[in-house]
């Protein structure tokens, strides 16, 4: 009887130990099945040549001049494209020649950096997404970006709505083009008009106004108030200087996509 009394507590202790081990194993298996958050390794080299090295860091891309140690830091980029012997007549950045440079591309932005003869950040602009003609209008900077076959062709300063809601946001297209040969346009519209097809639901100034989808309410046009360019001054249209409006008028066709953001 005394021996049996010792055996029973021993069995109980062993059982408790086995249960605890089982719990620990189960907990361990749960932890191992939970995916750990992926960390972007810092200082990953994504491009280099004899002049620069490009690192993708956490939340940024750094371009370092190998000779001088100068650094240019831009938003995180996933792709690097070479630019060589670009003349001022071809995009990106018509009017600017680049002997050597790089384009840093992510889903939202493209950065152009000259690496020869100088080392400087030339421009950053929205990524149009597809290789086609397009206009992107950024209300926060009052800038119009014109793209040709997916490459930035030129940028223009503009004026947008005096109230943030006046200039509609979304994806539209040029519905019509009108030149002021016979005083078809009001004086405040300058000398040319590119109407935007804005659907009813994007028109924040009136309900069911048929002029909006027909391209007769919102448009890109010149102005008789050149000092307003760069300001929030219009009733919802996109104002340009008359000279630049005429230039844009000649470069775009009816049906050209227009994104306002």
- Give the closest residue to 53 by CA, choosing from 61, 43, 63: 63
The token duo for 8 is: 């029973």
Please indicate whether residue 121 is annotated as part of the active site. Answer: no
Dihedral, CA of residue 17, residue 21, residue 27 and residue 31, to nearest 10? 140
The yes-or-no answer on residue 221 being catalytic is yes
Residue 52: name the closest of 120, 111, 107 by CA: 120
The answer to whether 53 and 47 have CB atoms below 8 angstroms apart is: yes
Please tell me what DSSP assigns to residue 40. Answer: P
Give me the catalytic one of 23, 111, 181, 237: 237
Active-site residues: which are they?
221, 237
């Amino acid at each position: 009887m005394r021996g049996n009394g010792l055996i029973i507590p021993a069995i109980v202790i062993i059982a408790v130990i086995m249960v605890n081990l089982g719990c620990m194993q189960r907990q361990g298996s749960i932890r191992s099945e939970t995916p750990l958050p992926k960390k972007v390794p810092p200082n990953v080299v994504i491009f280099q040549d004899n002049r620069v090295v490009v690192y993708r860091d956490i939340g940024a891309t750094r371009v370092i001049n190998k000779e001088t140690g100068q650094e240019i830091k831009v938003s995180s980029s996933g792709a690097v494209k070479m630019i060589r012997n670009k003349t001022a007549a071809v995009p990106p950045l018509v009017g600017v020649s680049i002997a050597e440079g790089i384009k840093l591309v992510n889903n939202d932005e493209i950065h152009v950096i000259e690496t020869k003869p100088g080392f400087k950040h030339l421009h950053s602009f929205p990524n149009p997404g597809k290789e086609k003609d397009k206009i992107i209008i950024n209300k926060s900077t009052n800038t119009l970006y014109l793209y040709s076959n997916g490459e930035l062709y030129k940028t223009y300063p503009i004026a947008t709505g005096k109230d943030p809601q006046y200039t509609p946001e979304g994806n539209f297209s040029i519905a019509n083009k009108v030149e002021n040969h016979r005083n078809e346009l009001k004086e405040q519209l300058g000398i040319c008009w590119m109407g935007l097809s804005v659907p009813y639901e994007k028109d924040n100034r009136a309900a069911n106004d048929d002029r909006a989808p027909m391209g007769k309410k919102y448009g890109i046009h010149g102005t008789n108030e050149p000092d307003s360019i760069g300001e929030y001054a219009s009733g919802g249209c996109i104002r340009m200087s008359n000279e630049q409006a005429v230039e844009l008028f000649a470069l775009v066709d009816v049906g050209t996509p227009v994104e306002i953001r």
